[in-house]
Amino acid sequence: MLYPHAMTRLIHELAKLPGIGPKTAQRLAFHLLTLSESEVGKIAEAMLEAKHKIGFCEICGQLSESSVCPICTDSNRCNGMLCVVEEPKDVITLERTRVFKGQYHVLGGAISPLEGTGPDDLRIKELLSRLQTGSFTEVVIATDPNVEGEATALYLSKLIKPLGIRVTRLARGLPVGGDLEYTDEITLGKALEGRVEF
């Protein structure tokens, strides 16, 4: 062991963060050592505070400082639409569009057997009980358009359709301001499949 134990430990823990490899972790660790104690304290405190104060909304699973998030308490948003997403950050992305006015449900991931994530590890049970007790008329599935997201979407649609609720999937197709010529074949094919009437 080349570094003192405390330094090794710091590098080891930093390297567990996403996007941080061993070299970057080492650089961050050295940087932290050059900071004053109060500055390091601020970083540590911010991390702990976020961890202590932020939990998940009991209803939708979105990040929240209270037991129910502002979107779920907003009575104006009960329009019968429920949007299902993989991660809390997807809610923020969709909210930025200001197009969707319904409620959300965060699954906490997508079905991925290779990563050990099965249906039981996602908030699917909660989703179904929400649908059974609430007055939703449409579920919009907004999982990622990749293998895992598609598998999750298909799985959910099979569970929800028997409840008599309309299930829709986000459209895939041409980007706004794009060029038909530069669109890849798969996307263009999906855009043709999902064409809409004027």
Partner 1 sequence: MNLSCLELKHFRNYNNLIINFSPGMNIFFGQNAQGKTNLLEAVSLLCLGRSFRTRKDSELIQWGSEAAFVRGTFVDNGLEDVIEIGIGEGQKKFKQNGHEVKGTALFSQVPVVSFAPDDLQLIKGGPQLRRDFLDLYLAQLDPAYRVTYYKFYKILQQRNRFLKEVRLVNRELEVWNEQFIDAGLKVICSRIQLIEKIKPYIKAAHEQISLNREALNLDYLSFGSHIIREPDDKKLRELFQNELARVSREEFERKLTLVGPQRDDLRITIGDQIDIRNYGSQGQQRTAALALKLGMIDILKDVREMPPLLLLDDVMSEFDNDRKQALLSLLLSSSQTFLTSTGRSDFPIEASVNTVFYQVIKGAVIHES
Cα–Cα nearest to 195, from 162, 168, 172: 172
Among 118, 175, 178, 189, binds partner 1 (CB under 8 A): 118
Q: Which stretch binds partner 1 (CB under 8 A): 65-73, 75-83, 110-118, 130-138?
A: 110-118
Q: Which stretch binds partner 1 (CB under 8 A): 2-10, 84-92, 131-139, 173-181?
A: 2-10
What residues form DSSP beta bridges with 139? Answer: 82, 167
Give the separation between CA 20 and CA 15, rounded to whole angstroms: 5
Quick check: 106 and 61 in contact, CB under 8 A?
yes
Least CB distance from residue 192 to partner 1, whole Å? 30
Q: 3-class SS at 171?
A: coil
Burial category of 146 from C-beta neighbours within 10 Å (exposed 0-12, middle 13-18, buried 19 and up): exposed
Q: Copy the structure tokens of residue 48.
A: 């702990």
Please tell me the count of residues contacting partner 1 according to CB under 8 A.
14
Site string for partner 1, 16-55 (x = CB under 8 A): x-x--x----------------------------------
**What is the residue whose two structure tokens read 């998940």?**
56
The window from 8-16, 73-81, 123-131, 152-160 that contacts partner 1 (CB under 8 A) reads 8-16
CB of 139 to partner 1, least distance (A): 25
HEC profile for 118-169?
CHHHCCHHHHHHHHHHCCCCEEEECCCCCHHHHHHHHHHHHHHHHHCCEEEE
- Per CB under 8 A, does 4 bind partner 1? no
Query: Is 115 a residue that touches partner 1 (CB under 8 A)?
Result: yes
- Least separation in angstroms between residue 40's CB and partner 1 is 20
Of 116 and 177, the one with the shorter C-beta distance to partner 1 is 116
159 residue type, one letter? L
DSSP assignment of 63-102? EESSSS-HHHH-GGG-SSEEEEESSHHHHHHHHHHT---S
CB of 119 to partner 1, least distance (A): 12
* Cβ at position 84, least distance to partner 1 in Å: 22
- Candidates 116, 162, 164, 177; binder of partner 1 (CB under 8 A) is 116
**Residues near partner 1, by CB under 8 A:** 5, 8-9, 12, 15-16, 18, 21, 112-116, 118
